[in-house]
Structure 1
Amino acid sequence: MSSLKTRLEQDMASALKGRDELVLNTLRMTLTAIRNAEVAGKRARELSDDEVLKVVAKQAKQRAEAAEAFEGGGRPESAARERAEGEVLARYLPKRLGAEELTALIDEVFAEGGFTEPSQMGQAMKAVQAKVAGRAEGRTVAELVKARLAR
């Protein structure tokens, strides 16, 4: 069993004992998403920590998008709840890269890979995403890589 999944389960049990509804419900939904990912496909399997991390990141992104939608729809209470759930999930995600760190990482990957042409966008993105490992939003990474290739 992945150590991240174990940590989520232990934290959910603690939230249950402590009657922390927000954490309990957030982790319960996240663990359900993890279990669904484990049984998706031809046969059930245990997810690695990286795969569990991707599920948690996806759940956090969904919370952020839902908060925006609720805010735009004039439902600030629902938006606040979604943001609070996103903050709970953020505890399990790696620290986000700052703009300078991300730019430096992209520069490093470009130096290693020798990417110079816009036609190499896919290869460059694959190499950068491997180094970023979920610590930055894909859209932001793509914009920076595209801008760097356009120089």
Structure 2
Amino acid sequence: MREHLSDALNAAVKQQDKRRISTLRLITTAIKDRDVANRTAGRDPVSQEEVLHILIKMIKQREESARTYEDNGRLELAEQEREEIAIIREFLPPQLDPGEIELACRKAVEDTESKSLRDVGRCMNKLKERYPGKMDFGKASTVVKGLLR
């Protein structure tokens, strides 16, 4: 993943794509910051799974910022946030569609033998283990809760 990001950054520099350069630099900086924090805490460097979590968090931050900009009439800034989201998404694995999410949730409920809403946590842990970075876990949680009612 780091190599892929580095190659993409080099290509963006050659193409002089300023939006892409700044977004890729933000990603690499976030990963390096987490590396430093892990090293300070005596943990291993950032894993592939942690990189996925960083990217997902960056997307959520930008989605929230875009909504705020739209609410305040700053459409050009909202568009910039959406461009950054598109760039970040290039580095995530393909996302499951709603039908696949529902199927995965049904399988998780079945595999964990969940019966009530108290079991949502176990189902979500199973989904996070099986599909890291491949689905919106907020939507998955809603599906799981619907299945357990």
Query: Do the structures match in fold with TM over 0.5?
Result: yes
> What aligned pairs does 1:35-50 form with structure 2 within 5 A after superposition?
35-41=32-38, 42-43=41-42, 45-50=44-49
Task: Find the aligned partners of 1:40 and 1:88 in 2 and give their Cα distance.
Answer: 25
Percent identity over the alignment is: 27
Unaligned runs of 5+ in 2: none
Instruction: Give secondary structure in 1 for the equivalent of 2:20.
Output: helix
| TM-score (normalizing by structure 2) | 0.92
Correspondence 1:58 to 2:57: yes
Alignment partner for residue 32 of structure 1, among 25, 29, 33? 29
Alignment partner for residue 2 of structure 2, among 5, 12, 24? 5
| TM-score (normalizing by structure 1) | 0.90
Q: Is the 8 A contact 2:9 2:21 kept in 1?
A: yes
Q: Which residue of the partner structure matches residue 21 of structure 1?
A: 18
Equivalent AA in structure 2 for residue 6 of structure 1: E
Instruction: Give secondary structure in 2 for the equivalent of 1:40.
Output: helix
Unaligned runs of 5+ in 1: none
Task: Find the aligned partners of 2:118 and 2:86 in 1 and give their Cα distance.
Answer: 38
Q: Which residue of the partner structure matches residue 99 of structure 1?
A: 98
**Number of residue equivalences:** 147
RMSD: 1.4
Q: CA deviation at 1:131?
A: 2.1
Q: CA deviation at 1:97?
A: 1.0
**Structure 1 residue runs of 4 or more that deviate by more than 4 Å after TM superposition:** none
Q: Which residue of the partner structure matches residue 114 of structure 1?
A: 113
